[in-house]
Amino acid sequence: MTEESALAAAVPPPGGGTAPGAGPEAIVAGLVDRARAAMDAYENGDQARVDEAVTALAWSIYKPENARMLAELAVEDTGLGNVESKVVKNTRKTFGTLRDLMRVRTVGVIEELPERGLVKYGKPVGVVGAVCPSTNPAATPVNKAMMALKGGNAVIIAPSPAGQRTTAETVRLMRAELRKAGHPEDLVQILPPPVDKAMTHALMDRSDLVVVTGSQNNVRRAMKSGTVTIGVGPGNVPVIIDSSADLTDAAQKICASKIFDNATSCSSENAVVILDDVYEAAVAALVAAGGYRCTLREKAAIEGVLWQGGTLNRRVIAKDADVAARVFGLPKAAEQAKFFMVEEAAVGGKHSFADEKLSLVLTVYRAMDFADARRIATEILHVTGLGHSVGIHTKDMDRARDLAESTDVVRVLVNQAHTFGNGGSFDNAMPFTLSMGGGTWAGNTISENLNWSHFINVTHLVTTIPEDRPGEEAMFGNHWAKYGR
Protein backbone atom coordinates (compact mmCIF):
# COMPACT_ATOMS: atom_id res chain seq x y z
CA MET A 1 0.00 0.00 0.00
CA THR A 2 1.34 3.46 -0.89
CA GLU A 3 1.63 6.20 1.69
CA GLU A 4 -1.20 8.12 0.07
CA SER A 5 -3.59 5.15 -0.03
CA ALA A 6 -2.79 4.16 3.57
CA LEU A 7 -3.53 7.65 4.80
CA ALA A 8 -6.68 7.93 2.74
CA ALA A 9 -8.01 4.61 4.02
CA ALA A 10 -7.26 5.46 7.64
CA VAL A 11 -8.44 9.06 7.55
CA PRO A 12 -11.93 9.50 6.12
CA PRO A 13 -12.99 13.06 5.33
CA PRO A 14 -13.92 14.93 8.53
CA GLY A 15 -17.63 14.99 9.19
CA GLY A 16 -19.89 17.76 10.31
CA GLY A 17 -19.74 19.65 7.05
CA THR A 18 -16.13 20.76 7.47
CA ALA A 19 -15.26 23.15 4.66
CA PRO A 20 -12.30 22.50 2.36
CA GLY A 21 -9.17 24.18 3.68
CA ALA A 22 -10.60 24.33 7.20
CA GLY A 23 -8.27 25.04 10.09
CA PRO A 24 -7.15 22.58 12.78
CA GLU A 25 -9.99 23.45 15.16
CA ALA A 26 -12.70 22.80 12.55
CA ILE A 27 -11.06 19.56 11.40
CA VAL A 28 -10.75 18.24 14.94
CA ALA A 29 -14.31 19.31 15.73
CA GLY A 30 -15.49 17.19 12.82
CA LEU A 31 -13.53 14.18 14.05
CA VAL A 32 -14.91 14.59 17.56
CA ASP A 33 -18.46 14.77 16.18
CA ARG A 34 -17.86 11.49 14.34
CA ALA A 35 -16.41 9.95 17.50
CA ARG A 36 -19.46 10.93 19.55
CA ALA A 37 -21.79 9.53 16.90
CA ALA A 38 -19.80 6.29 16.93
CA MET A 39 -20.12 6.10 20.72
CA ASP A 40 -23.87 6.53 20.40
CA ALA A 41 -23.95 3.54 18.04
CA TYR A 42 -21.43 1.47 20.04
CA GLU A 43 -23.00 -1.29 22.11
CA ASN A 44 -21.00 -0.10 25.07
CA GLY A 45 -23.51 -1.20 27.67
CA ASP A 46 -22.90 -4.82 26.73
CA GLN A 47 -19.64 -6.17 28.18
CA ALA A 48 -19.54 -9.07 25.72
CA ARG A 49 -19.80 -6.76 22.71
CA VAL A 50 -17.25 -4.38 24.16
CA ASP A 51 -14.87 -7.29 24.65
CA GLU A 52 -15.40 -8.32 21.04
CA ALA A 53 -14.42 -4.83 19.91
CA VAL A 54 -11.28 -4.91 22.06
CA THR A 55 -10.35 -8.33 20.70
CA ALA A 56 -10.82 -7.07 17.15
CA LEU A 57 -8.33 -4.28 17.80
CA ALA A 58 -5.85 -6.71 19.30
CA TRP A 59 -6.09 -9.07 16.34
CA SER A 60 -5.47 -6.21 13.90
CA ILE A 61 -1.84 -5.98 15.06
CA TYR A 62 -1.30 -9.45 16.56
CA LYS A 63 -2.05 -11.16 13.25
CA PRO A 64 1.45 -12.34 12.23
CA GLU A 65 1.61 -10.74 8.81
CA ASN A 66 0.32 -7.45 10.20
CA ALA A 67 2.72 -7.48 13.15
CA ARG A 68 5.69 -7.85 10.82
CA MET A 69 4.45 -5.45 8.17
CA LEU A 70 3.89 -2.72 10.76
CA ALA A 71 7.27 -3.39 12.35
CA GLU A 72 9.01 -3.05 9.00
CA LEU A 73 7.05 0.08 8.18
CA ALA A 74 7.88 1.65 11.56
CA VAL A 75 11.62 1.16 11.12
CA GLU A 76 11.43 2.38 7.53
CA ASP A 77 9.47 5.49 8.52
CA THR A 78 11.27 6.52 11.69
CA GLY A 79 14.72 4.97 11.40
CA LEU A 80 14.35 3.96 15.06
CA GLY A 81 14.77 0.50 16.54
CA ASN A 82 14.81 -2.81 14.69
CA VAL A 83 12.19 -4.94 13.02
CA GLU A 84 12.45 -8.12 15.10
CA SER A 85 12.07 -6.24 18.38
CA LYS A 86 9.07 -4.34 17.05
CA VAL A 87 7.43 -7.59 15.96
CA VAL A 88 7.81 -8.84 19.54
CA LYS A 89 6.47 -5.55 20.89
CA ASN A 90 3.48 -5.56 18.54
CA THR A 91 2.53 -9.09 19.59
CA ARG A 92 3.67 -9.51 23.21
CA LYS A 93 2.36 -6.18 24.51
CA THR A 94 -0.91 -6.63 22.65
CA PHE A 95 -1.45 -10.18 23.87
CA GLY A 96 -0.63 -9.26 27.46
CA THR A 97 -2.92 -6.24 27.38
CA LEU A 98 -5.72 -8.33 25.92
CA ARG A 99 -5.23 -10.86 28.73
CA ASP A 100 -5.56 -8.09 31.31
CA LEU A 101 -8.60 -6.52 29.67
CA MET A 102 -10.50 -9.78 29.26
CA ARG A 103 -10.29 -10.38 33.01
CA VAL A 104 -12.17 -7.27 34.12
CA ARG A 105 -15.63 -5.74 33.83
CA THR A 106 -15.74 -2.11 32.76
CA VAL A 107 -19.33 -1.39 31.69
CA GLY A 108 -22.58 -1.79 33.55
CA VAL A 109 -22.25 -3.32 37.01
CA ILE A 110 -18.52 -3.81 37.52
CA GLU A 111 -18.52 -4.65 41.23
CA GLU A 112 -21.03 -5.48 43.96
CA LEU A 113 -20.19 -5.20 47.67
CA PRO A 114 -23.42 -6.02 49.55
CA GLU A 115 -21.71 -6.00 52.93
CA ARG A 116 -20.81 -2.37 52.29
CA GLY A 117 -24.04 -1.43 50.55
CA LEU A 118 -22.22 -0.53 47.35
CA VAL A 119 -22.78 -1.32 43.69
CA LYS A 120 -20.34 0.17 41.19
CA TYR A 121 -21.21 1.00 37.58
CA GLY A 122 -18.58 1.61 34.91
CA LYS A 123 -19.27 4.37 32.41
CA PRO A 124 -17.32 5.93 29.53
CA VAL A 125 -15.10 8.96 29.98
CA GLY A 126 -15.93 10.16 26.45
CA VAL A 127 -13.70 10.91 23.48
CA VAL A 128 -10.08 10.07 24.22
CA GLY A 129 -7.27 11.99 22.54
CA ALA A 130 -4.27 9.65 22.37
CA VAL A 131 -0.93 11.30 21.63
CA CYS A 132 1.58 8.66 20.53
CA PRO A 133 5.38 8.63 20.09
CA SER A 134 7.61 7.87 17.11
CA THR A 135 9.31 5.07 19.06
CA ASN A 136 6.15 2.93 18.98
CA PRO A 137 4.01 4.18 16.08
CA ALA A 138 1.99 0.94 15.88
CA ALA A 139 2.02 -0.74 19.30
CA THR A 140 1.15 2.33 21.38
CA PRO A 141 -1.89 3.41 19.30
CA VAL A 142 -3.36 -0.09 19.50
CA ASN A 143 -2.58 -0.34 23.22
CA LYS A 144 -4.37 2.93 23.98
CA ALA A 145 -7.25 2.16 21.63
CA MET A 146 -7.84 -1.20 23.32
CA MET A 147 -8.03 0.45 26.75
CA ALA A 148 -10.22 3.27 25.47
CA LEU A 149 -12.75 0.99 23.79
CA LYS A 150 -12.74 -1.33 26.81
CA GLY A 151 -14.18 1.60 28.75
CA GLY A 152 -16.87 2.18 26.13
CA ASN A 153 -15.13 5.21 24.61
CA ALA A 154 -13.98 6.38 21.20
CA VAL A 155 -10.39 7.39 20.51
CA ILE A 156 -8.71 9.86 18.17
CA ILE A 157 -5.01 9.26 17.71
CA ALA A 158 -2.42 12.01 17.26
CA PRO A 159 0.58 10.30 15.69
CA SER A 160 4.14 11.49 15.77
CA PRO A 161 4.90 13.19 12.44
CA ALA A 162 7.82 10.78 11.96
CA GLY A 163 5.60 7.74 12.44
CA GLN A 164 2.46 9.10 10.77
CA ARG A 165 2.41 6.64 7.86
CA THR A 166 2.82 3.65 10.19
CA THR A 167 0.16 4.88 12.57
CA ALA A 168 -2.22 5.57 9.69
CA GLU A 169 -1.81 2.01 8.46
CA THR A 170 -2.31 0.73 12.01
CA VAL A 171 -5.54 2.71 12.30
CA ARG A 172 -6.70 1.40 8.92
CA LEU A 173 -6.23 -2.16 10.15
CA MET A 174 -8.04 -1.46 13.43
CA ARG A 175 -10.99 0.11 11.61
CA ALA A 176 -11.18 -2.85 9.23
CA GLU A 177 -11.38 -5.32 12.12
CA LEU A 178 -14.03 -3.22 13.86
CA ARG A 179 -16.09 -3.22 10.69
CA LYS A 180 -15.81 -7.02 10.40
CA ALA A 181 -17.07 -7.36 13.98
CA GLY A 182 -20.02 -5.03 13.35
CA HIS A 183 -18.76 -2.04 15.32
CA PRO A 184 -18.62 1.60 14.20
CA GLU A 185 -15.28 2.27 12.51
CA ASP A 186 -15.20 5.82 13.83
CA LEU A 187 -14.57 4.48 17.32
CA VAL A 188 -10.94 4.73 16.18
CA GLN A 189 -9.77 7.73 14.15
CA ILE A 190 -6.50 9.51 13.43
CA LEU A 191 -5.63 13.13 12.83
CA PRO A 192 -5.30 13.75 9.08
CA PRO A 193 -1.97 14.76 7.56
CA PRO A 194 0.00 16.87 7.84
CA VAL A 195 -0.02 16.42 11.62
CA ASP A 196 1.50 19.39 13.39
CA LYS A 197 1.44 21.06 16.79
CA ALA A 198 -1.66 23.08 15.99
CA MET A 199 -3.65 19.98 15.05
CA THR A 200 -2.46 18.04 18.10
CA HIS A 201 -3.21 20.97 20.40
CA ALA A 202 -6.71 21.29 18.95
CA LEU A 203 -7.29 17.63 19.76
CA MET A 204 -6.09 18.19 23.32
CA ASP A 205 -8.56 21.05 23.70
CA ARG A 206 -11.55 19.15 22.25
CA SER A 207 -11.15 15.72 23.89
CA ASP A 208 -12.75 14.59 27.14
CA LEU A 209 -9.53 12.86 28.21
CA VAL A 210 -6.03 13.23 26.82
CA VAL A 211 -3.44 10.46 27.25
CA VAL A 212 0.06 11.50 26.23
CA THR A 213 3.09 9.28 25.73
CA GLY A 214 6.37 10.61 24.36
CA SER A 215 7.36 14.26 24.08
CA GLN A 216 7.44 16.05 27.41
CA ASN A 217 6.47 19.22 25.54
CA ASN A 218 3.24 17.48 24.56
CA VAL A 219 2.69 16.34 28.15
CA ARG A 220 3.11 19.88 29.47
CA ARG A 221 0.89 21.36 26.75
CA ALA A 222 -1.84 18.82 27.45
CA MET A 223 -1.72 19.58 31.17
CA LYS A 224 -2.31 23.26 30.35
CA SER A 225 -5.17 22.56 27.94
CA GLY A 226 -7.86 22.43 30.61
CA THR A 227 -8.72 18.89 29.51
CA VAL A 228 -8.28 16.05 31.98
CA THR A 229 -4.84 14.68 31.13
CA ILE A 230 -2.77 11.60 31.84
CA GLY A 231 0.83 12.11 30.85
CA VAL A 232 3.85 9.97 31.60
CA GLY A 233 7.37 11.11 32.39
CA PRO A 234 10.70 10.17 30.82
CA GLY A 235 12.63 7.09 31.81
CA ASN A 236 16.32 6.85 32.63
CA VAL A 237 16.56 3.57 34.48
CA PRO A 238 19.55 2.92 36.76
CA VAL A 239 20.11 -0.67 37.89
CA ILE A 240 22.22 -1.77 40.84
CA ILE A 241 24.30 -4.95 40.64
CA ASP A 242 24.64 -6.02 44.26
CA SER A 243 27.45 -8.10 45.76
CA SER A 244 25.14 -11.10 46.06
CA ALA A 245 23.86 -10.96 42.48
CA ASP A 246 24.16 -13.82 40.03
CA LEU A 247 26.49 -11.83 37.78
CA THR A 248 26.02 -13.94 34.65
CA ASP A 249 22.23 -13.84 34.94
CA ALA A 250 22.27 -10.10 35.66
CA ALA A 251 24.53 -9.36 32.69
CA GLN A 252 22.45 -11.42 30.29
CA LYS A 253 19.22 -9.75 31.40
CA ILE A 254 20.74 -6.27 31.22
CA CYS A 255 22.05 -6.98 27.72
CA ALA A 256 18.75 -8.41 26.44
CA SER A 257 16.86 -5.43 27.85
CA LYS A 258 19.35 -2.79 26.73
CA ILE A 259 19.49 -3.92 23.12
CA PHE A 260 15.76 -4.58 22.69
CA ASP A 261 14.52 -2.30 19.90
CA ASN A 262 17.91 -0.56 20.12
CA ALA A 263 17.08 1.01 23.49
CA THR A 264 14.00 2.95 22.37
CA SER A 265 12.06 1.90 25.47
CA CYS A 266 11.73 4.33 28.37
CA SER A 267 12.40 1.26 30.54
CA SER A 268 15.74 0.44 28.93
CA GLU A 269 18.67 0.41 31.34
CA ASN A 270 20.62 3.64 30.95
CA ALA A 271 23.10 3.01 33.77
CA VAL A 272 24.38 0.21 35.95
CA VAL A 273 25.78 0.84 39.41
CA ILE A 274 28.09 -1.96 40.51
CA LEU A 275 29.32 -2.56 44.04
CA ASP A 276 33.09 -2.35 44.41
CA ASP A 277 33.71 -5.92 45.56
CA VAL A 278 32.17 -7.39 42.38
CA TYR A 279 32.94 -4.55 39.98
CA GLU A 280 35.50 -6.20 37.71
CA ALA A 281 33.70 -9.53 37.72
CA ALA A 282 30.40 -7.83 36.81
CA VAL A 283 32.01 -5.81 34.02
CA ALA A 284 33.58 -9.01 32.70
CA ALA A 285 30.14 -10.65 32.73
CA LEU A 286 28.70 -7.70 30.81
CA VAL A 287 31.51 -8.00 28.24
CA ALA A 288 30.78 -11.72 27.93
CA ALA A 289 27.11 -10.90 27.37
CA GLY A 290 27.99 -8.63 24.45
CA GLY A 291 29.16 -5.32 25.90
CA TYR A 292 32.14 -3.35 24.60
CA ARG A 293 34.24 -1.68 27.33
CA CYS A 294 35.27 1.71 26.01
CA THR A 295 38.63 3.32 26.69
CA LEU A 296 38.80 6.87 28.00
CA ARG A 297 39.54 8.11 24.47
CA GLU A 298 36.59 6.18 23.04
CA LYS A 299 34.35 7.48 25.81
CA ALA A 300 35.31 11.05 24.88
CA ALA A 301 34.55 10.30 21.22
CA ILE A 302 31.09 9.00 22.14
CA GLU A 303 30.37 12.03 24.30
CA GLY A 304 31.33 14.37 21.46
CA VAL A 305 28.85 12.69 19.11
CA LEU A 306 25.97 11.67 21.39
CA TRP A 307 24.76 15.21 22.02
CA GLN A 308 24.65 17.88 19.35
CA GLY A 309 23.62 21.39 20.39
CA GLY A 310 22.09 20.12 23.62
CA THR A 311 19.96 17.39 21.98
CA LEU A 312 20.54 13.73 21.24
CA ASN A 313 22.05 13.03 17.86
CA ARG A 314 19.50 11.28 15.62
CA ARG A 315 22.36 9.53 13.82
CA VAL A 316 22.88 7.30 16.87
CA ILE A 317 19.46 7.28 18.57
CA ALA A 318 18.06 3.73 18.46
CA LYS A 319 20.52 2.65 15.76
CA ASP A 320 22.02 -0.80 15.37
CA ALA A 321 25.31 -1.30 17.20
CA ASP A 322 27.46 -1.47 14.06
CA VAL A 323 25.91 1.72 12.70
CA ALA A 324 26.32 3.58 16.00
CA ALA A 325 29.90 2.33 16.40
CA ARG A 326 30.88 3.79 13.04
CA VAL A 327 29.22 7.12 13.82
CA PHE A 328 31.00 7.22 17.18
CA GLY A 329 34.30 6.41 15.48
CA LEU A 330 34.84 3.23 17.49
CA PRO A 331 37.12 0.41 16.29
CA LYS A 332 35.98 -2.65 14.34
CA ALA A 333 35.76 -4.72 17.52
CA ALA A 334 33.02 -2.40 18.78
CA GLU A 335 30.99 -2.94 15.61
CA GLN A 336 30.71 -6.62 16.57
CA ALA A 337 29.45 -5.82 20.09
CA LYS A 338 25.83 -5.46 21.17
CA PHE A 339 26.20 -2.31 23.31
CA PHE A 340 28.87 0.08 24.55
CA MET A 341 29.92 0.64 28.16
CA VAL A 342 31.36 3.96 29.34
CA GLU A 343 32.66 4.17 32.90
CA GLU A 344 31.95 7.27 34.97
CA ALA A 345 33.43 8.33 38.30
CA ALA A 346 30.66 10.79 39.19
CA VAL A 347 27.09 11.64 38.19
CA GLY A 348 26.97 14.59 35.81
CA GLY A 349 24.01 16.76 34.85
CA LYS A 350 21.85 17.14 31.77
CA HIS A 351 23.49 16.08 28.52
CA SER A 352 26.02 13.99 30.42
CA PHE A 353 26.29 10.21 30.56
CA ALA A 354 23.90 10.34 33.52
CA ASP A 355 21.10 11.52 31.23
CA GLU A 356 18.71 9.40 29.16
CA LYS A 357 20.54 8.32 26.01
CA LEU A 358 18.01 6.38 23.86
CA SER A 359 20.92 4.51 22.36
CA LEU A 360 23.09 1.45 22.94
CA VAL A 361 25.35 3.38 25.34
CA LEU A 362 25.33 2.07 28.91
CA THR A 363 26.92 4.13 31.68
CA VAL A 364 28.75 2.18 34.39
CA TYR A 365 29.36 3.51 37.92
CA ARG A 366 31.43 1.98 40.71
CA ALA A 367 29.94 2.19 44.21
CA MET A 368 31.83 1.72 47.48
CA ASP A 369 28.95 -0.17 49.09
CA PHE A 370 25.18 -0.55 48.88
CA ALA A 371 24.46 2.83 50.50
CA ASP A 372 26.73 4.47 47.94
CA ALA A 373 25.02 2.58 45.10
CA ARG A 374 21.64 3.77 46.32
CA ARG A 375 22.97 7.37 46.42
CA ILE A 376 24.31 7.15 42.86
CA ALA A 377 21.03 5.73 41.54
CA THR A 378 19.11 8.53 43.24
CA GLU A 379 21.40 11.19 41.76
CA ILE A 380 20.91 9.72 38.29
CA LEU A 381 17.13 9.88 38.71
CA HIS A 382 17.36 13.52 39.73
CA VAL A 383 19.06 14.24 36.39
CA THR A 384 16.25 12.55 34.44
CA GLY A 385 13.69 9.89 35.27
CA LEU A 386 12.61 10.69 38.81
CA GLY A 387 9.44 8.74 39.55
CA HIS A 388 9.88 6.21 36.76
CA SER A 389 11.86 3.12 37.74
CA VAL A 390 14.96 1.58 39.26
CA GLY A 391 16.23 -1.99 39.38
CA ILE A 392 18.43 -4.24 41.44
CA HIS A 393 20.06 -7.61 40.88
CA THR A 394 20.49 -9.24 44.27
CA LYS A 395 19.81 -12.28 46.42
CA ASP A 396 19.24 -10.04 49.46
CA MET A 397 15.59 -8.97 49.56
CA ASP A 398 16.31 -6.67 52.49
CA ARG A 399 18.34 -4.54 50.10
CA ALA A 400 15.56 -4.60 47.51
CA ARG A 401 13.08 -3.47 50.17
CA ASP A 402 15.50 -0.77 51.31
CA LEU A 403 15.73 0.52 47.75
CA ALA A 404 11.94 0.55 47.39
CA GLU A 405 11.44 2.38 50.69
CA SER A 406 14.07 5.04 50.02
CA THR A 407 13.78 5.78 46.28
CA ASP A 408 11.14 8.04 44.74
CA VAL A 409 10.08 5.80 41.87
CA VAL A 410 6.90 3.92 41.01
CA ARG A 411 8.62 0.65 40.09
CA VAL A 412 11.52 -1.28 41.62
CA LEU A 413 12.27 -4.43 39.64
CA VAL A 414 14.24 -7.23 41.27
CA ASN A 415 16.36 -9.60 39.14
CA GLN A 416 14.49 -8.71 35.95
CA ALA A 417 15.22 -7.32 32.52
CA HIS A 418 13.64 -3.90 32.80
CA THR A 419 12.33 -3.52 29.28
CA PHE A 420 10.46 -6.83 29.55
CA GLY A 421 9.19 -6.37 33.11
CA ASN A 422 8.42 -2.70 33.66
CA GLY A 423 5.49 -2.44 31.29
CA GLY A 424 3.96 -5.74 32.35
CA SER A 425 5.17 -9.29 32.07
CA PHE A 426 3.75 -12.79 32.23
CA ASP A 427 5.91 -13.47 35.28
CA ASN A 428 5.16 -10.35 37.34
CA ALA A 429 1.99 -8.58 38.42
CA MET A 430 2.45 -5.28 36.57
CA PRO A 431 -0.33 -4.50 34.06
CA PHE A 432 0.75 -4.64 30.42
CA THR A 433 1.10 -1.16 28.99
CA LEU A 434 3.28 1.09 26.86
CA SER A 435 2.73 4.14 29.09
CA MET A 436 4.16 4.20 32.61
CA GLY A 437 3.21 6.90 35.08
CA GLY A 438 5.80 8.38 37.41
CA GLY A 439 3.57 9.96 40.02
CA THR A 440 3.94 13.55 41.20
CA TRP A 441 7.71 13.01 41.21
CA ALA A 442 7.49 13.11 37.41
CA GLY A 443 4.64 15.62 37.27
CA ASN A 444 2.20 12.82 36.38
CA THR A 445 -1.32 12.22 37.62
CA ILE A 446 -0.85 8.46 37.95
CA SER A 447 1.69 6.45 39.92
CA GLU A 448 1.13 3.15 38.16
CA ASN A 449 1.07 1.64 34.70
CA LEU A 450 -1.61 3.11 32.44
CA ASN A 451 -4.47 0.59 32.41
CA TRP A 452 -8.19 0.14 31.80
CA SER A 453 -9.20 1.78 35.09
CA HIS A 454 -8.03 5.16 33.79
CA PHE A 455 -10.57 5.01 30.94
CA ILE A 456 -13.80 4.72 32.94
CA ASN A 457 -15.89 6.80 35.28
CA VAL A 458 -17.50 4.95 38.19
CA THR A 459 -20.98 5.59 39.59
CA HIS A 460 -21.53 4.32 43.15
CA LEU A 461 -25.01 3.13 44.14
CA VAL A 462 -25.09 3.57 47.92
CA THR A 463 -27.56 1.90 50.28
CA THR A 464 -27.58 1.84 54.06
CA ILE A 465 -25.79 -0.76 56.16
CA PRO A 466 -25.79 -1.43 59.92
CA GLU A 467 -24.31 1.60 61.63
CA ASP A 468 -20.52 1.57 61.78
CA ARG A 469 -19.77 4.10 64.51
CA PRO A 470 -16.91 3.26 66.92
CA GLY A 471 -16.87 4.74 70.41
CA GLU A 472 -14.87 7.81 71.40
CA GLU A 473 -12.51 5.67 73.47
CA ALA A 474 -11.57 3.64 70.40
CA MET A 475 -10.81 6.77 68.42
CA PHE A 476 -9.16 9.00 71.03
CA GLY A 477 -8.07 6.58 73.76
CA ASN A 478 -4.40 6.40 72.76
CA HIS A 479 -4.21 10.17 72.33
CA TRP A 480 -5.80 10.78 75.73
CA ALA A 481 -3.43 8.31 77.37
CA LYS A 482 -0.32 9.95 75.89
CA TYR A 483 -1.27 13.62 75.83
CA GLY A 484 -4.34 14.01 78.07
CA ARG A 485 -7.76 15.26 77.18
Cis upstream peptide for 194 (omega within 30°): yes
Q: Which of 139, 166, 141, 125 is nearest to 36 (CA)?
A: 125
Residue 341 CB: number of other CB atoms within 10 A? 20
Do 399 and 242 touch, CB atoms closer than 8 A? yes
Q: 345-366: string of b/e by CB count within 10 Å (b at 16+)?
A: eebbeebbbbbbbbbbbbbbbb
Edge-to-edge order in the sheet of strand 409-414: 291-293, 339-344, 361-367, 269-275, 237-241, 387-393, 409-414
For residues 77 and 138, what is the distance between their CA atoms, to the nearest angstrom?
11
Backbone angles phi, psi at 415, to 5 degrees: 55, 45
266 annotated active-site: yes
CA distances from 1 to 70, 71, 86, 473 (A): 12, 15, 20, 75
Do 307 and 328 touch, CB atoms closer than 8 A? no
- The residue annotated as part of the active site, out of 132, 255, 266, 294, is 266
Residue 68 CB: number of other CB atoms within 10 A? 16
Q: What are the residue numbers of the active site?
A: 266
